[in-house]
Amino acid sequence: MSSRRNNIISSVREQIPALSQKMSGKPLIYLDNAATTQKPRQVLDFLSDTFVWRNANVHRAMYELSDRSTEAYEDARETVRSFLNAPFRENVIFTSGTTASINLVAYSFCKKFVGKGDVIVIEADSHHSNIVPWQLAAERVGAMVRVLPTDVLTGSGRSGALDLESLDSLLTPEVRILALTQISNITGLNNPVGKIIAAAHAKGIPVLVDGAQGIVHSKVDVRKMDCDFYAFSAHKIYGATGVGVLYGKKEYLEAMPPYMGGGDMVETVTYQKTTYAPLPLKFEAGTPNFTGAAALKPAIEFAQWLATGETAQALKQEEEDIKSFMTDYLTSDRGIELYGTPSSSARGVGLDVKAPIFTFNIKSINAGDLAQLLDKMGVAVRSGLMCAEPLLNSFGATSALRASFAPYNTLEEAKIFTECLERARAMLF
Ligand code: PLP
């Protein structure tokens, strides 16, 4: 690796205090970024400053401290709007996370637009939060949930990619909404959402995109993508926990009934009837997480810095090296099964459609045991079902190990991880 690249990556890592700590006496190698990312100093400082200098409830008071808080909250909304290239601030709703954003749409959209005998289409590679809310909604309104399969389910391959040939026949006239996943939290595969959205729109079907992983690993432009809804969580993109975003087209958000009732989402209230506040507040009942939401501004600025100029180039090259190294390691050993290979036929081909998320099993070894041993070596990886039980089951797995890399991870860390994994494997075999 060039020393210039090395220096750039070091300067990024220096911004993130958590990365320099030790676990079990070893330098932490944090590879659970698909679950949550570590926070840069500018987000930590902003949060701390907010609690000291801007801590007052938003939108409600006539004093300066509340004005400052409201300004920071609405500033973050503008930052999100511009980051997503959404046309209006009214398109951006603050929620508590991707899960809450999807639940909001599943409840309100289905209440207004979905009825008995209608169909909701979801994807086989979805996280539970893009499955269960639709099942609940379908139950409430008497609709059915249909699943767009992967090649594993149709028996046409083992890559974990969506079987797009099934799409046309699934999108029948009863389909009212299609819920997509931009990047799977298991396979890391980047789904062709643009193509799928175009196919759905050709039949008048609106589309929600779960961007929980996509927001981190791709440049998102909701106007170009032309999705009708886009959901993501702040904590996965260097921001605070308990904050999420729902982008929605105004035509839908305006027609949809509120999801929750309470303060701030009303215009007038009598004991008999309530009229609702205009967007976006109609969907932001109660005191929002105004401190966390405001911190989306420095979090997004950090993400933008990582994606700009020389920094972006260095991180991209490092990520490509990590992906090649990890794919080679995980596919050259017959005792390892990797879930989500870009191409079912040729190893290493099409890595451009895979985010650096690697979920796999080592034959005859329990993933949880491996994760525990790795922890003792300073390596943090996730094991279990990763909230995608149907997808993992379709691969024939009941649990797995997942190493998910962020732009601040290094090839050196990937190498140490695989060495530690081999040591843990030898201990358990
Ligand atoms: N969707 C995907 C693809 C995810 O990876 C996750 C979290 O891992 C979620 C949804 C849920 O995100 P949150 O728990 O932040 O609401």
Q: Name the active-site residue from 110, 227, 387, 420.
A: 387
Quote the ligand 1 centre to 131 CA distance (angstroms): 11
Nearest-atom number in ligand 1 for the CA of 182 is 3
- Whole-model pTM: value is 0.97
Residue 351's pLDDT is 76
**Which residue from 126, 129, 220 has its CB within 8 A of the most atoms of ligand 1, so it is best to mutate?**
129
Nearest-atom number in ligand 1 for the CA of 35 is 8
Asked if residues 12 and 37 have their Cβ atoms less than 8 Å apart, the reply is no
Nearest-atom number in ligand 1 for the CA of 233 is 15
pLDDT in tens, the chain (429 residues): 679 999 999 999 999 999 999 999 999 999 999 999 999 999 999 999 999 999 999 997 899 999 999 999 999 999 999 999 999 999 999 999 999 999 999 999 999 999 999 999 999 999 999 999 999 999 999 999 999 999 999 999 899 999 999 999 999 999 999 999 999 999 999 999 999 999 999 999 999 999 999 999 999 999 999 999 999 999 999 999 999 999 999 999 999 999 999 999 999 999 999 999 999 999 999 999 999 999 999 999 999 999 999 999 999 999 999 999 999 999 999 899 999 987 644 444 467 889 999 999 999 999 999 999 999 999 999 999 999 999 999 999 999 999 999 999 999 999 999 999 999 999 998
Query: For 276-279, which contacts have Cβ atoms below 8 Å and span 24 or more sequence positions?
Result: 278/90, 279/90, 279/91, 279/93, 279/250, 279/253, 279/254
Nearest-atom number in ligand 1 for the CA of 185 is 5
Quote the ligand 1 centre to 211 CA distance (angstroms): 8
Residue 309's pLDDT is 97
Other CB atoms within 10 A of residue 45 CB:
12
Residue 1 tokens, joined: 């690796």
**Which residue from 387, 389, 391, 404 has its CB within 8 A of the most atoms of ligand 1, so it is best to mutate?**
387
Quote the ligand 1 centre to 308 CA distance (angstroms): 26
Residue 184 tokens, joined: 């799977």
Quote the ligand 1 centre to 184 CA distance (angstroms): 10
Q: For the chain, what is the HEC assignment? A: CCHHHHHHHHHHHHCCHHHHCEECCEECEECECCCCCCCCHHHHHHHHHHHHHCCCCCCCCCCHHHHHHHHHHHHHHHHHHHHHCCCCHHHEEEECCHHHHHHHHHHHHHHHHCCCCCEEEEECCCCHHHCHHHHHHHHHHCCEEEEECEHHHHCCCCCCCECHHHHHHHCCCCEEEEEEECECCCCCEECCHHHHHHHHHHCCCCEEEECCCHHHHCCCCHHHHCCCEEEEEHHHHCCCCCCEEEEECHHHHHHCCCCCCCCCCEEEECCCCEEECCCCHHHCCCCCCHHHHHCHHHHHHHHHHHCCHHHHHHHHHHHHHHHHHHHHHHHCCCCEEEECCCCCCCCCCCHHHECCEEEEEECCCCHHHHHHHHHHCCEECEEECCCCHHHHHHCCCCCEEEEECCCCCCHHHHHHHHHHHHHHHHHHC
The residue contributing the CA closest to ligand 1 atom 5 is 185
Quote the ligand 1 centre to 179 CA distance (angstroms): 14
Residue 352's pLDDT is 81
The residue contributing the CA closest to ligand 1 atom 14 is 99
Quote the ligand 1 centre to 236 CA distance (angstroms): 8
The residue contributing the CA closest to ligand 1 atom 6 is 212
Quote the ligand 1 centre to 375 CA distance (angstroms): 23
Ligand 1-lining residues (CB < 6 angstroms): 34-35, 97-99, 127, 129-130, 181, 185, 210, 212-213, 233
pLDDT digits (tens, 9 = 90+) for 306-353: 999 999 999 999 999 999 999 999 999 989 999 998 764 444 446 788
Nearest-atom number in ligand 1 for the CA of 183 is 3
Task: Give the separation between CA 192 and CA 16, rounded to whole angstroms.
Answer: 32
The residue contributing the CA closest to ligand 1 atom 4 is 212
Task: Give the separation between CA 331 and CA 406, rounded to whole angstroms.
Answer: 21
- Known catalytic residue at 387: yes
What phi-psi label fits residue 402: left (phi over 0), alpha (psi between -120 and 50 degrees) or beta?
beta
